[in-house]
Structure formats: structure tokens, C-alpha cells
């Protein structure tokens, strides 16, 4: 599939990417994802050691059509009540999840001459549903083409001491490309995805919300792969475990 770098003026990139993001948001509204685990289900979740979690967790997320995409490179441990304030403390914002919310934020950001950091993320899937959270961190003027971001899914297990487990996939958008064949515009990621994994951890450490971190290496690590849109990336294959305070 042929591609070319989309080097039109940034304002055109903003329009193209925002249009695609809004379409993705509308699609999620039209077809709701499978619900996240309920409180009662979570309470009954199996309690596993980190090694057992590593054996069970998927290595990659997928697009709606089933195509394998970003690698899983994060494992965050902590309750939902810890996750959201921890991300806010580290200046991560939640991506908009519905079209109405997106349009309001887009207009407000334009009027105030601010970057639209909350731009919706495309839906990727794990455990039969799209992401429970999408967090973004960006330079205001570059947000359309460049932003740090990651998605989180609550796993169907808990740690041995009963804490919630969140599986994450993080990448750094560094530009915009247009598919010559389809005309669709999509983000191009930094192929060195380990840098984004570590950037996420460093931002949380700097915010003082991390109890400890450690790396785990699965038996069959992802070393070289492609995103669901065809972008190549590489990794040392390690999963970064972040335990929140």
C-alpha cells in the first residue's frame, strides 16, 4: 500500500486528522463497545502473580477489522480511582470519546487559540472492546500532527494482593501521512516505541504518583511489527510495570 508524507500546511493537517477523529468518535457512538468489567465482575476477577499476568496478557491490540496493531508495552497497577487523578497530575488529558464533546472542545480550542489535545483517538481493541481510557500529552501547536498518547484497558484479572490491572499501549505520533490508494489521512508514529513507554513512566514519576516500576520480558516478545495502518515499529520487547501510589 503506497503512502506519502502529508506535508501540506499544518491547518490542513488539523482539518484532515480532526475529521478522521470525529468520524471514529461517531462510529463508537453508533456502535457501543463491550462494557468494561462491572464492580461485581471485578470483585470476582482471578488474582494472579505478575508472571501469571504476563503469560495471559495479549501482546498486541487490534483494529476493529481484527488487524493486529500497536504492541502492549505498559502494565499499570492501581484502582480506577487512582488512575484518573494520577494522569491529571502528570498533565495527561483524556481524549474525547463522543462526537458532541469533540466538536465543543474543537470549537473552544479554536476560539481560544489553544491546541486541541483532547482530539479523539481511533478505537483499538483488547478483551473484545475498545479502550477504557485514552490519554494524550502534546505541545499545543503540534497536537494535530504530534502528540504522546496511550490507551488503557482494564484487565479481567487482579494482582495477587487484589489491585486492578490496566493493560496499555503507548505510541508517539510524530506526523501525518496520506494513503495514496484510499486518500485517508492517519498519524505516523515514532518507530522507537520504547521511548514512548519510558516517557509515560517518567512523566508519572515526575508527578510523584509512582510507587515502583519494573520491566518484564514475555516469552515471545514483540520486537518488530506494524501498526494496524501499516507503520513499522520496533522494541526491546519489554513490558513496563508501573505501580501507582
pLDDT of 141 higher than 60 = no
Q: 228 vs 174, which has greater pLDDT?
A: 228
Query: Using one digit for the tens of pLDDT, what is the confidence trace for 146-201?
Result: 788 899 999 999 999 999 999 999 999 887 666 545 556 666 789 999 999 999 99
Q: Say if CB 95 and CB 135 are below 8 A apart.
A: yes
Condensed to tens digits (0 to 9), the pLDDT of residues 97-129 reads 554 444 444 444 444 444 445 466 778 999 999
- Domain ranges in the chain are 3-31+47-244
Question: Out of 34-38, 51-55, 94-98, 140-144, which region has the weakest mean confidence (pLDDT)?
Answer: 140-144
Question: Which of 26-40, 113-127, 226-240 ranks highest by mean pLDDT?
Answer: 226-240
Average pLDDT over residues 23-38: 51
CA distances (Å), origin 189, targets 60, 194, 196, 244: 16, 12, 10, 27
- Is pLDDT at 225 greater than 90 in this prediction? yes
pLDDT of residue 94: 87
| Residue 99: predicted pLDDT | 47
How confident is the model at residue 206, as a pLDDT? 97
Over residues 22-27, mean pLDDT: 52
**Averaged confidence pLDDT in the chain:** 78
- % of the chain residues with pLDDT over 90: 53
Q: What is the 3-state secondary structure (H, E, C) of 48-87?
A: ECHHHHHHHCCCEEECCCCCEEEECCEEEECCHHHHHHHH
* CA 133, chain centre distance (Å): 8
**pTM of this prediction?**
0.74
Helices (H), the chain: 10-30, 39-43, 50-56, 80-89, 99-111, 193-206
The pLDDT tens digits for 81-98 are 999 999 999 999 887 455
Amino acid at each position: 500500500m503506497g503512502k506519502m508524507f502529508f506535508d501540506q500546511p499544518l491547518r490542513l493537517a488539523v482539518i484532515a486528522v480532526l475529521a478522521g477523529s470525529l468520524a471514529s468518535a461517531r462510529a463508537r457512538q453508533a456502535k457501543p463497545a463491550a462494557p468494561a468489567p462491572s464492580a461485581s465482575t471485578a470483585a470476582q476477577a482471578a488474582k494472579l502473580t505478575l508472571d501469571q499476568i504476563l503469560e495471559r496478557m495479549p501482546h498486541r491490540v487490534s483494529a476493529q477489522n481484527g488487524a493486529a496493531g500497536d504492541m502492549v508495552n505498559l502494565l499499570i497497577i492501581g484502582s480506577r480511582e487512582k488512575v484518573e487523578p494520577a494522569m491529571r497530575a502528570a498533565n495527561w488529558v483524556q481524549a474525547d470519546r463522543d462526537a458532541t464533546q469533540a466538536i465543543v472542545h474543537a470549537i473552544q480550542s479554536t476560539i481560544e487559540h489553544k491546541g486541541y489535545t483532547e482530539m479523539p483517538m481511533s478505537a483499538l481493541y483488547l478483551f473484545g472492546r475498545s479502550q477504557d481510557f485514552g490519554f494524550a500529552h502534546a505541545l499545543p501547536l503540534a497536537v494535530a500532527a504530534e502528540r504522546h498518547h496511550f490507551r488503557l484497558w482494564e484487565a479481567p484479572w487482579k494482582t495477587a494482593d487484589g489491585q486492578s490491572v490496566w493493560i496499555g499501549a503507548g505510541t508517539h505520533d510524530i506526523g501525518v501521512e496520506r494513503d495514496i490508494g484510499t486518500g485517508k489521512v492517519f498519524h505516523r508514529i515514532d518507530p522507537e516505541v520504547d521511548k514512548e513507554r519510558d516517557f509515560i513512566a517518567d512523566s508519572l514519576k515526575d508527578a510523584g504518583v509512582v510507587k515502583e516500576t519494573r520491566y518484564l520480558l514475555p516469552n515471545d516478545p514483540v520486537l518488530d511489527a506494524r501498526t494496524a495502518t501499516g507503520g513499522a515499529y520496533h522494541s526491546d520487547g519489554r513490558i513496563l510495570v508501573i505501580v501507582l501510589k
